Amino acid sequence: MLELNKIYQGDCLEIMKQIDDNSVDLILTDPPYGINKEGILNDNNLDIYYNSLPNLFRILKEGCFFVTFVSIGRLPEFFNNNPFDYRWMFIQYINNGMVRGGIGFNRYLCVLIFQKGDAKITKPMQDVYEMSTSSQECAKREHPTQKDVNVVRRLIETFSKKGDLVIDPFCGSGTTLIASKQIERNYIGIELDKSYCEIVEQRTTQKGLGEF
């Protein structure tokens, strides 16, 4: 079993082999969307996401959740070859957002909630979270698809409890790890890009735990 509360640099398909069966309480991630986003490795298709699913299913405990951000344009494809059972969808609505999408501008992000077996939530939440952002906040972000730590923290609070183990196999700049640390969850992060691993190390050790 891997040491807890660390970021591991490398291929998640290989590193996850070192994680015990049925040992993880929550998987929360933001995988490559298959949209060729600049600055993200393996983003030319969804193969890495599909290939990760068997291992993710293996390591997740029965009765627990797999939560993943997805691309709006490729939303149906995230259900393909998926061993988990679909449970719900969460929407992050950015009321002043103007992110360019496939046919215009997007103001919301989708999060799919899957489960393994009969899973129970820890803390009820609304299925739409409205927020505002600013150019100053965006300028502080260090990853092309970096998520808001407040949103990720809400998801972790809903689908896990204190002391649980949360894993993010596509860790990016480490927002899942930051949020886990803030609310007393153990975590394991995996990221292929060495430069982002260095950012994660800085964010998880700095004062304030990297608010953005």
176 in any annotated domain: yes
The domain that contains 190 carries what CATH number? 3.40.50.150
Q: Could you give the number of structural domains in the chain?
A: 1
116 in any annotated domain: yes
Percent share of the chain, pLDDT over 70: 85
Domain carrying residue 169: 6-205
Model-level pTM greater than 0.85? yes
Q: Report pLDDT digits (tens) over 98-108.
A: 676 777 778 88
175 in any annotated domain: yes
211 in any annotated domain: no
Q: So what's the pLDDT on residue 212? A: 42
| Tokens of residue 150, six digits | 């407040």
Q: Report pLDDT digits (tens) over 126-171.
A: 999 998 875 566 556 665 566 889 999 999 999 999 999 999 999 9
210 in any annotated domain: no
159 in any annotated domain: yes
Pairing state between β 186-191 and 6-9: parallel
Our measurement of the distance from residue 120's CA atom to the centroid of its chain's CA atoms, rounded to an integer in Å, reads 19
Per-residue pLDDT at 29 exceeds 90: yes
